[in-house]
Structure 1
Amino acid sequence: MTEQHSTPAETFPQAAPPPAPAAPPPAPAAPPPAPAGAPAAPAGPPAPADAPPAAPAAAPRDRRKLFAALRWTAAVLVFGAAGTGAAYGVIQPERTDIPGLATLGDGRWEYPALAKPALPPGAALPFAKDNEDGIHYAGLTQLLLPAPNGSVPDPALKLEKDSAVSVDTLMEEYEATAREKLKQGLADNGLRQVVARGWTTPDGTRTRVYLLRFHSSGFADAFEGCGADMNLSGVNRIETDSVWGKAKVEQGAPDTTGVTVMEESAPVGDDMVRAACVQSGDVQAVILQTRKGTVPVVPLHQTVILQHQLLS
Structure 2
Amino acid sequence: MSEQTDTAAVPTPEAEPTSTPAPAPEATEAADVATEVAEVAGAPEAPEAPEAVTEAEAVTEAVTGAVTEPNVWAAPPAPPKDRRGLFAALRWTAAVAVFAAVGTGVAYGITQPERTDIPGLSTKDDGRWTFPVLSRPALPAGAPVPQGPDNKDGTHYAPLTGLLLPAPEGAKADDAVKADKDGVVSADAFLEEYTPEAREKLKQSLEWDGLRQIAGRGWTTADGTRTHVYLLRFHSSGFVDAFKGCDTNARFTGVSALDLDDVWSKAKNTQMNSTTLDFPGAANFDGTDLSVYQEVKPFLGEEQTKIGCLRTGDVLGMVIQTRKGEVAPVTFHQSVILQSQLLS
Q: TM-score of the superposition, structure 2-length normalised? A: 0.61
1:303 aligns with 2:335: yes
Q: Which is worse superposed, 266-275 or 191-200?
A: 266-275
The residue aligned with 1:195 is 215
Q: Are 1:151 and 1:201, in contact at CA under 8 Å, matched by a contact in 2?
A: yes
SS of the residue 1:263 aligns to: strand
**Structure 2 counterpart of 1:297, which letter?**
P
Q: CA deviation at 1:160?
A: 1.3
Aligned-partner Cα distance in 1 for 2:242–2:201: 13
Change beyond 3 A, Cα 1:102–1:191: same
Q: Secondary structure at the match of 1:302?
A: helix
Aligned position for 1:116:
136
CA contact (8 A) 2:271 2:283 kept: no
State the Cα deviation string for residues 146-178 of structure 1 (Å, max 9, x = none). Answer: 000010100222111310111111111001111
Q: Which runs of 5+ in 2 are unaligned?
A: 1-87, 89-106, 273-281
Count residues in correspondence. Answer: 222
Q: Pick the structure with greater CA Rg.
A: 2
Distance (whole Å) between structure 2 residues aligned to residue 180 and residue 94 of structure 1: 51
Aligned letter for 1:264?
Answer: E
RMSD, aligned CA: 2.4
1:238 and 2:267 are equivalent in the alignment: no
Residue identity in the other structure for 1:200: T
Name the residue aligned to 2:313: 281
CA distance in 2, matches of 1:309, 1:124: 17
**Are 1:255 and 2:284 matched, yes or no?**
yes
Identify the residue that residue 9 of structure 1 maps to in structure 2.
none
Cα drift, residue 96 of structure 1: 9.4
Structure 1 residues 92 and 309: alpha-carbon distance in aligned structure 2, compared to 1, 3 A threshold: farther
Aligned residue in 2 for 1:103? 124
Percent of aligned pairs sharing the same letter: 52
Residues 96 and 102, structure 1, Cα contact 8 Å, conserved in 2 = no
Is the contact between residue 192 and residue 213 of structure 1 (CA under 8 Å) also seen in structure 2? yes
Aligned to 1:208: 228
Name the counterpart of 2:159: 139
Residue matched to 2:205: 185
SS of corresponding position for 1:161? coil
CA apart distance, 1:250: 2.0
Distance 1:133 1:92 in 2: 42
Within 1, Cα distance between the matches of 2:114 and 2:207?
A: 44
- What is the TM-score of this pair, normalised by structure 1? 0.67
Deviation string, structure 1 residues 241-277 (Cα, Å, up to 9, x no partner):
0100111222535134410111101112211101110
